[in-house]
């Protein structure tokens, strides 16, 4: 029998987790949502055996081996600590906690409990990211001197767009950087093998006031049926709004322990960009570039010209070929990344963590960098990032 798993949080990402868990052979033993009624509806939709009255009940329930935490960010730490104390393994959405201290508490509890905490930095599971990583490790680029890129979205472009992440009490003091800048930094450190040692950050809140209420992640204002708590536009009255304290944009300069210099633009207000995570590593001999919206090709540049490497297992490094589950030309994407991540997380639960699986230490790393970004943006000074 497969692992018995339960998912706390049944929004966009909770459903992604549930789908991948099933495909990994797990039994979806239960779900929890924002209310018992929502949990009942989600359990029926997802075919879960149980609808828990609350996430607190789910994380300590008997008969559950692994809990997936897909709730708003402020609940990650208390739920992870409760699950670990109850002997569960945890798959915890990023950010694992609202700051580095919270992340370190989870890491300590996981070590004490001897349990796995996996963190879905899932873009590591694009096969061509592993190919890029293997080429850097083999010395093909030479020392990497410049690391640069962007992570751009537009789902929070307008003042009518809102989401629980906008609220610092629910999402944390940092929004755009903690939510997606963390992915970019994880992917670039993972691929380059380098570590950010100090950074200089500027953050901006470009939409200073937003409609109150919540809207599911990526849901467009006015598009489709209004979300349950969408702003009320039925009357003549103006939509209620609230001032925003969390950043829409983060611009970060950084240095690495391998003599590199880098920059990243993080934005959730870049019109036309949907989930455009892209990075480029420029070495003394060669460069490479990857765009997660075009994950079937890896750009490799040299002085004499550039080539495009297709996702063809026959010509990839072993760790990349392992993740190429479809023939070349049959595009792998986001769901495939999640399927591969969850399968590797469950392999770790059963004994051996496969190469490249992001664990709680990577969640601590992301929170540590995010803390440094906030500190630098406040002081507008270079901030050292501890290893």
Q: Which of 38, 197, 217, 261 binds ligand SOE (CB under 6 A)?
A: 217
The CB-of-13 to ligand SOE minimum distance in angstroms stands at 6
Contact region for ligand SOE (CB under 6 A) — 109-117, 176-184, 344-352, 358-366? 176-184
Q: Which residue is nearest to ligand SOE (CB)?
A: 179
Pick from 89, 56, 68: nearest CA to 350: 89
Among 179, 247, 280, 362, binds ligand SOE (CB under 6 A): 179
Closer CB to ligand SOE, residue 60 or residue 275? 275
Residue 154 or 344: which CB sits closer to ligand SOE? 154
Identify the three-state secondary structure at position 266.
Answer: strand
SS3 241: strand
Backbone angles phi, psi at 242, to 5 degrees: -145, 150
The 3-state DSSP class for residue 38 equals: helix
Q: Which of residues 27-56 bind ligand SOE (CB under 6 A)?
A: none
H, E, C per residue of 201-237? EEEECCCCEEECCCCCCCCCCCCCCCCCCCCCCCCCC
Q: Which of 180, 199, 264, 369 binds ligand SOE (CB under 6 A)?
A: 180
Task: Give the x-and-dash track for 132-161 against ligand SOE (CB under 6 A).
Answer: ---------------------x--------
According to the binding rule CB under 6 A, does residue 167 interact with ligand SOE? no
Q: Map the footprint of ligand SOE across residues 252-311, applying CB under 6 A.
A: 275
Q: How many CA atoms lie within 13 A of 18 on its CB side?
A: 24
Q: How far is the CB of 179 from ligand SOE (least distance, A)?
A: 5
* Other CB atoms within 10 A of residue 46 CB: 18
- Residue 34 neighbours by CB under 8 Å, 6+ apart: none
Query: Which residues lie near ligand SOE (CB under 6 A)?
Result: 153, 179-180, 183, 217, 275
């Amino acid at each position: 029998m497969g692992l018995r798993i339960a998912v706390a949080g049944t929004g966009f990402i909770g459903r992604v987790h549930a789908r991948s868990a099933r495909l990994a052979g797990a039994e979806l033993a239960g779900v929890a949502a924002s209310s018992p009624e929502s949990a009942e509806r989600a359990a029926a939709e997802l075919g879960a055996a149980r609808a828990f009255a609350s996430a607190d009940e789910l994380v300590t329930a008997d008969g559950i081996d692994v809990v997936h935490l897909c709730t708003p960010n402020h609940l990650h730490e208390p739920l992870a600590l409760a699950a670990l104390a109850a002997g569960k393994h945890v798959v915890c959405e990023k950010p694992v906690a609202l700051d580095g201290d919270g992340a370190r508490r989870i890491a300590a509890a996981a070590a004490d409990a001897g349990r796995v905490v996996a963190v879905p930095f899932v873009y590591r599971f694009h096969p061509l990211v592993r190919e890029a990583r293997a080429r850097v490790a083999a010395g093909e680029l030479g020392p990497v001197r410049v690391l640069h890129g962007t992570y751009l979205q537009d789902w929070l472009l307008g003042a009518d767009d809102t989401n629980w992440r906008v609220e610092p009490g629910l999402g944390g003091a940092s929004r755009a950087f903690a939510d997606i800048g963390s992915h970019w930094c994880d992917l670039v450190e993972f691929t380059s093998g380098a570590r950010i040692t100090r950074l200089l950050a500027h953050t901006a809140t470009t939409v200073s006031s937003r409609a109150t209420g919540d809207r599911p992640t990526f849901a467009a204002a006015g598009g489709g049926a209004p979300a349950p708590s969408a702003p009320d536009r039925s009357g003549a009255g103006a939509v209620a709004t609230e001032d925003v304290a969390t950043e829409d944009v983060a611009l970060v300069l950084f240095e690495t322990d391998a003599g590199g210099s880098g920059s990243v633009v993080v934005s959730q207000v870049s019109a036309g960009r949907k989930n455009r995570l892209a990075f480029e590593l420029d070495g003394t001999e060669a460069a490479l570039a990857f765009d997660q919206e075009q994950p079937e090709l890896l750009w490799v540049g040299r002085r004499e010209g550039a080539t495009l490497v297709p996702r063809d297992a026959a010509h990839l490094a072993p760790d990349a070929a392992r993740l190429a589950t479809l023939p070349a030309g049959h595009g792998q994407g986001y769901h495939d990344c999640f399927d591969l991540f969850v399968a590797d997380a469950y392999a770790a639960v059963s004994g051996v963590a496969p190469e490249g699986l992001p664990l709680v230490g990577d969640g601590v790393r992301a929170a540590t960098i995010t803390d440094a970004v906030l500190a630098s943006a406040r002081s507008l000074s270079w901030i050292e990032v501890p290893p």
